[in-house]
Amino acid sequence: MSNPKFKITNPEAIKLLNDIKSGAFLVPVKDWITRFKWFLVSGLVLAVLLIALAIGNAIYRRNKPPVFLPPDLGTPVSTTGNAVKSDYEWIRQNIQDLSTDLPDPVIPPFDNSIDLESDNI
């Protein structure tokens, strides 16, 4: 079985291969880097800072300070249900119910001068 030989004949491809072999291919890239190196450095510093912040935040979250809470006292329970009652509450109730308003009952108005003479209507 014959081994087919692959041969590049396209001149543009040959030129590209030669540029890669000689390093001429990297010249525009180097020029671009040289031209924008301060931007790249700034971006790199910014990226480092952001990464540092993220790492710091993650460390802070892992090491939260302990929270000290007061012990649970429970819900207050009314004690009125168990209050001792006196046998004489009814006297106190009578006193509280006693109205001190006078006159009680109110005296209604009466006309004591009923006649047909005077014009005192």
Partner 1 sequence: MNLIRFTFFAVFLLVVSFFTSSLVLADAKSDYDYQYSQYRIGYSEFVILKQDYLNTSSLDNQQKAMLSAKQTILARDLAKASLNWYLMDRIASYNVDYNPIKPVITSLDTARQYFLGQAQKSQSIITQEDLKKFTQGYLTTITENDSLIKFGIVVNKIAALVRIQTDSAIALDAIIPKLSTPIPSALAARIQELKDSSEIIDGKIDLLANNLNLADAIAESVNEIFFTSRVEKLVEIRELQLDWINRLIDIDINYVQPQI
Residues that bind partner 1 (CB under 8 A): 82, 84-89, 91-92, 94-96, 98, 100-105, 107-108, 110-117, 119, 121
Nearer to partner 1, 12 or 111 (CB): 111
Q: Provide, for the chain, the percentages of residues in helix, strand and coil under a 3-state DSSP scheme, each rounded to the nearest 5.
A: 50, 0, 50
Token pair listed for 93: 């109730």
Please report how close the Cβ of residue 73 comes to partner 1 at its closest, in angstroms: 24
Nearer to partner 1, 72 or 119 (CB): 119
Nearer to partner 1, 10 or 79 (CB): 79
- Measured CA to CA, the distance from residue 106 to residue 102 in angstroms comes to 8
Nearer to partner 1, 59 or 95 (CB): 95
Would you say 113 and 120 are in contact if contact means Cβ atoms under 8 Å apart? yes
- Measured CA to CA, the distance from residue 7 to residue 13 in angstroms comes to 11
Please report how close the Cβ of residue 76 comes to partner 1 at its closest, in angstroms: 19
Sign of CA dihedral 19, 20, 23, 28: positive
Please report how close the Cβ of residue 77 comes to partner 1 at its closest, in angstroms: 14
